[in-house]
Structure 1
Amino acid sequence: MKFVLALLGMVGIAILGGIWPTTAQAQKYPTRNVTIIVPTGPGAGTDLLARILAARLSERMGKTFVVENRPGAGTIIAARAVVQSKPDGYTLLMGTSTPLAINATLHKKLPYDPATDFTPLALIATVPFVLVLNNELPARSVPEFIKLAKEKPGAFSYGSTGPGTPFHLYAELFSSMTGIRMVHVPYKAAVAGLADLMGGRLQVMMTDFASSLPLIQQGKVRALGVTTKTAAPAAPGIRPIAELGVPGFEASAWQMVVAPASTPKPIVDKLHAELKAVMAMPATRDQINKIGLVPADTGSPAELQAFVKSEIVRWGDVVRKSGATVN
């Protein structure tokens, strides 16, 4: 009997020994700088959003949250870097619906599983996009642009931030729903594509407001419509594409902070609570609105995991409908 009790005591100590270090580690976390990897170049909405969060988290948690841009390969470079990092809470991804949902169907071969290789921390924002044209094009409305593009199939080029990104997928969806044909030109950053749009090397682009709103306001590009069902808060005067000749058109991205799978639960819970507190701050929500995004109310990490799985299914339908694919 004494032997059994002693054995049980040893087992209990072993179990507690595995729990307490993790809990203590979470209480001290972070003890050094944390990196937030961004799958886009500087100046895009995802980059600006990550910098807003990084500044707030640095203030609250006492260590610097550093934003690191790793654009390329349709967000795969950044996503793979986070998946392959140590799951200790010191490398996070400012994820979007592209690496976390769209890529699952778009890519025939994907070096990670978005449903299982990440642990969601918080849903941050949704992202309306806008259809913009080079000012030299004679089209001044969605129907006029569709008519012009049908008269000149393949003559117009559109820019994106890479295969599978909303910049690419929404343009392909628009093309498939309207029967037009355009040439895809990928860039590493939205600002580079917009520079070529203004310069006339591109004629059209589906882009986020963070990158394009100042240019729209200054009259440097022409906005025709937004991709969401309702007007975007950042530009209430621009009507939805669905109301302007393409009924049923709807597409919006989302932004979520995630960590590698197997990140200790106490650290996941701490980051979730801190991000939720940051998103509850009126100043944070105001900053997000100003860059053309719409602040979101996050669910728990478990609820977000289910959300990601449902989004993989939803975006799978959109990808197949658009006809887009990457080998």
Structure 2
Amino acid sequence: MTVTQHTYARRGVLRLGTRRSLMATTQSQMVADRLTALTGATVELVGVTTFGDVTKAQLSQLGGTGVFVSALRDKLIDGEIDFAVHSLKDLPTTPDPRVVIAAVPPRDDPRDALVGPGELAGLAAGARVGTGSPRRVAQLRALRPDLEYVPIRGNADTRIGKIASGELHAVVLASAGLTRIGREAEIAEVFEPDAMLPAPGQGALAVECRAGDDELIELLGALDDPRTRAAVTAERTVLAALEAGCSAPVGAFAADAGHILNLTAAVVALDGTRSVRKSTAGDLSAAMDLGRDLAAAMIAEGAGTLMGERIH
């Protein structure tokens, strides 16, 4: 054992804060199991209810940013939990000096997926497709403007259940989330980034703890994947530089090839008729600069006008 491991063994069980949904607890347990395998630490999950879990409003109406995160951070700062696991796409891009992202584990599939009777191209005109994401709606309208896109809330089971009930013909969800809860067999189509850019950070997790807790930061660092961290840093820097929240119609994806990141981002008008899409490439070590430069190029081409003048 390292000194860090001995220190945390003396502290006893590490408390991992997680939202209470099946998807959240499943991915948090994955992180806990991996940390135990790598370091020998003992971890227990602590369920936390967030504002995003209890509100009935659509996330796009709330701005999306932080609604699943604030309660977990409050528990961290109050010392009720030792660390937390978030879906990285839910994290605000504005840093919180009280906390630090100690690890970004290897990313799962970043793509969006369609659950339904068949692929998007095969749905009849006027079919009702459920999604709570303006980013997905904008890009889906570009692909199939003749479909009806319905805002929905709830966990994956609830959303998929609307197909069986006849309320919807299909729903769009994150491929990684469906796989984590064992529903991947119901995926009818996975959208490649060329057709639908994912949310910045989609498919990745963030392991967060209190700033200044150097021993825990070191321990959790065993989970970190530098290549994933570089990719999601580039994507989230685009989002931050565009001054857009995580519910904005912005997609971004960074694929790494050796030491090179290939970053693509787009802002799409909500009606799907117009978009600004740009790409760039550079070294993994320059992820933040790549994101800033790409966002600047997009703003120069009028990306702000596609977001209701959100960008200044």
* Fold similarity call, TM over 0.5: yes
CA 1:156/1:130 → structure 2, altered by over 3 Å: closer, same or farther? same
Secondary structure (helix, strand or coil) at the match of 2:90 reads helix
Secondary structure (helix, strand or coil) at the match of 2:45 reads strand
1:298 alignment counterpart: 226
Task: Provide TM-score, normalisation by structure 1.
Answer: 0.55
Q: Does 1:190 align with 2:156?
A: yes
Larger relative contact order (Cα-Cα within 8 Å, sequence gap ≥ 6): 1
Any conservation in 2 of the 1:39–1:72 contact (CA below 8 Å)?
no
Task: Provide TM-score, normalisation by structure 2.
Answer: 0.57
Structure 2 residue runs without a partner (length 5+): 53-58, 252-266, 271-306
Q: How far apart in 2 are the matches of 1:144 and 1:210?
A: 23
Secondary structure (helix, strand or coil) at the match of 2:211 reads coil
Q: How far does residue 37 in structure 1 lie from its aligned partner after superposition? A: 2.9
1:55 alignment counterpart: 33
Any conservation in 2 of the 1:118–1:261 contact (CA below 8 Å)?
yes
Q: How far does residue 299 in structure 1 lie from its aligned partner after superposition? A: 5.7
2:239 alignment counterpart: 312
Q: How far apart in 2 are the matches of 1:115 and 1:309?
A: 15
Q: How far does residue 80 in structure 1 lie from its aligned partner after superposition? A: 0.7
**1:177 alignment partner, one of 142, 148, 151:** 142
Post-superposition CA distance 1:283-310 (Å, at most 9, x none): xxxxxxxxxxxxxx33698x69955752
Secondary structure (helix, strand or coil) at the match of 2:86 reads strand
CA 1:254/1:133 → structure 2, altered by over 3 Å: closer, same or farther? closer
2:198 alignment counterpart: 251
Q: Give the structure with higher Rg (CA).
A: 1
CA 1:69/1:116 → structure 2, altered by over 3 Å: closer, same or farther? same
Q: How far apart in 2 are the matches of 1:39 and 1:259?
A: 14
Secondary structure (helix, strand or coil) at the match of 2:204 reads strand
Larger helix percent: 1
Q: How far apart in 2 are the matches of 1:123 and 1:222?
A: 26
Range moving further from structure 2, 60-69 or 308-317: 308-317
Question: Which one-letter code corresponds to 1:63 in the other structure?
Answer: T
Structure 1 residue runs without a partner (length 5+): 1-23, 105-112, 161-167, 230-241, 277-296
Q: How many residues align?
A: 230
Q: How far apart in 1 are the matches of 2:113 and 2:95?
A: 28
1:37 alignment counterpart: 17
Any conservation in 1 of the 2:100–2:208 contact (CA below 8 Å)?
yes
Any conservation in 2 of the 1:36–1:91 contact (CA below 8 Å)?
yes
Q: How far apart in 2 are the matches of 1:264 and 1:305?
A: 24
Q: How far does residue 97 in structure 1 lie from its aligned partner after superposition? A: 3.1
Q: Does 1:123 align with 2:104?
A: yes
User: Among the aligned pairs, what percent are the same residue?
Assistant: 11
Secondary structure (helix, strand or coil) at the match of 2:104 reads strand
Larger strand percent: 2
**2:218 alignment partner, one of 269, 281, 287:** 269
Q: Does 1:91 align with 2:82?
A: yes
Q: How far apart in 1 are the matches of 2:187 and 2:90?
A: 29
Secondary structure (helix, strand or coil) at the match of 1:54 reads helix
Q: How far does residue 311 in structure 1 lie from its aligned partner after superposition? A: 5.1
Q: How far does residue 318 in structure 1 lie from its aligned partner after superposition? A: 0.6
Q: How far does residue 203 in structure 1 lie from its aligned partner after superposition? A: 1.9
Question: Which one-letter code corresponds to 2:226 in the other structure?
Answer: T
Q: CA RMSD in A?
A: 4.0
Secondary structure (helix, strand or coil) at the match of 2:159 reads helix
Any conservation in 2 of the 1:130–1:209 contact (CA below 8 Å)?
yes
5 Å-filtered alignment, 1:139-288, equals 140-145=118-123, 148-149=124-125, 152=126, 156-160=128-132, 168-178=133-143, 179=145, 180-187=147-154, 189-209=155-175, 212=178, 217=185, 221=186, 223=188, 225-229=189-193, 242=194, 246=195, 249-251=196-198, 253-273=202-222, 275-276=223-224
Q: How far apart in 2 are the matches of 1:305 and 1:56?
A: 21
Any conservation in 2 of the 1:40–1:47 contact (CA below 8 Å)?
yes
Q: How far does residue 61 in structure 1 lie from its aligned partner after superposition? A: 3.4
Any conservation in 1 of the 2:18–2:46 contact (CA below 8 Å)?
yes
Question: Which one-letter code corresponds to 1:94 in the other structure?
Answer: V
Any conservation in 1 of the 2:36–2:43 contact (CA below 8 Å)?
yes
Post-superposition CA distance 1:46-89 (Å, at most 9, x none): 53222122123245334223152536525845411232234569
Q: How far does residue 114 in structure 1 lie from its aligned partner after superposition? A: 4.3
Any conservation in 2 of the 1:115–1:308 contact (CA below 8 Å)?
no
